[in-house]
Amino acid sequence: MPEGSAESQGAGPAPHEIVVVGGGAGGLELVTRLGDTLGRRGRARITLVEKCRTHLWKPLLHAVAAGSMDASEHELNYLAQAHWHHFRYRYGEMVGLDRAGRQVLLAATFDEEGRQITNDFGTPGAAQHAVPLETAEQAVRFNRRLVNACIRAHSQEEPVRPGQLHVAIIGAGATGTELAAELHRTARQVVAFGLDRVDPEKDIRIILIEAAPRILPALPQRIADATLALLDELGVEVRAGARVSEVRADGVVLATGEVIASELVVWCAGVKAPDVLRGIDGLETNRSNQLVVQPTLQTTRDPAIFALGDCASCPRPGAAEPVPPRAQAAHQEASHLLRQLQRRLDGQPLEPFVYRDFGSLVSLGEYSTVGSLMGFLLGKNLFIEGYFARLMYRTLYKMHEYALHGANKTFLAALARGLSRGGEPAVKLH
pLDDT surpassing 60 at residue 378: no
Question: Taking the domain 126-267, which CATH number applies?
Answer: 3.50.50.60
Per 3-state DSSP, what percentage of the chain is helix, strand, and coil (rounded to 5)? 35, 25, 40
Look at residue 428 in the predicted model and tell me its pLDDT.
45
CB 315 within 8 A of CB 322: yes
What's the rounded mean pLDDT across residues 314-319?
88
Indicate the pLDDT class of residue 372, thresholds 50, 70 and 90.
low
Per-residue pLDDT tens for 399-417? Answer: 888 888 888 888 887 777 7
Q: Is 273 exposed, middle or buried (0-12, 13-18, 19+ CB in 10 A)?
A: buried
Give the long-range contacts of residues 392-396, CB within 8 A, separation 24 or more: 392/361, 393/361, 393/363, 393/369, 396/59, 396/327, 396/328, 396/361
Query: Euclidean distance between the first and final Cα of the chain, in Å?
Result: 25
What whole-number percentage of the chain has pLDDT above 90?
44
Return the pLDDT at 388. 67
Q: Is the pTM here over 0.75, yes or no?
A: no
Residues 81, 89 contacting (CB under 8 angstroms): yes
The distance from CA 14 to its chain's CA centroid, rounded to whole angstroms, is: 36
pLDDT tens sequence across 326-366: 888 888 999 999 999 999 999 999 999 999 887 776 777 66
Q: Is the pLDDT of residue 5 over 70?
A: no
4-18, 28-42, 184-198, 379-393, range with greatest mean pLDDT: 28-42
Lowest-confidence pick of 25-29, 97-101, 370-374:
370-374
Is 110 buried (19+), middle (13-18) or exposed (0-12) by CB count in 10 A?
A: exposed
| Cα–Cα dist 389/193, whole Å | 31
Q: Is 4 helix (H, G, I), strand (E, B) or coil?
A: strand
Q: How far apart are CA 168 and CA 172, in angstroms?
A: 11
How confident is residue 397, by pLDDT bands cut at 50, 70 and 90?
A: confident
Q: Which amino acid is at 113?
A: E
pLDDT band at 288 (very low <50, low <70, confident <90, very high): confident
- CATH 3.50.50.60 domain position(s) in the chain: 3-112+272-345, 126-267
Kindly tell me if the per-residue pLDDT of 35 is higher than 70.
yes
Q: What CATH number has the domain spanning 3-112+272-345?
A: 3.50.50.60
Query: Is residue 102 within 8 Å of residue 284, measured between CB atoms?
Result: no
With bands split at pLDDT 50, 70 and 90, how would you rate the model's confidence at 387?
Answer: low
Q: How far apart are CA 397 and CA 421, in angstroms?
A: 18
Closest CA to 405 of 57, 49, 18, 45: 57
**pLDDT of res. 231:** 93
- Mutual orientation of helices 174-192 and 221-234 as an angle, nearest 10°? 20
- List C-alpha distances in Å: 272 to 229, 233, 236, 269: 30, 33, 27, 10
> Widest CA span of the chain, in angstroms?
75
Residues of the chain with pLDDT > 70: what percent? Answer: 83
State residue 425's pLDDT score: 44
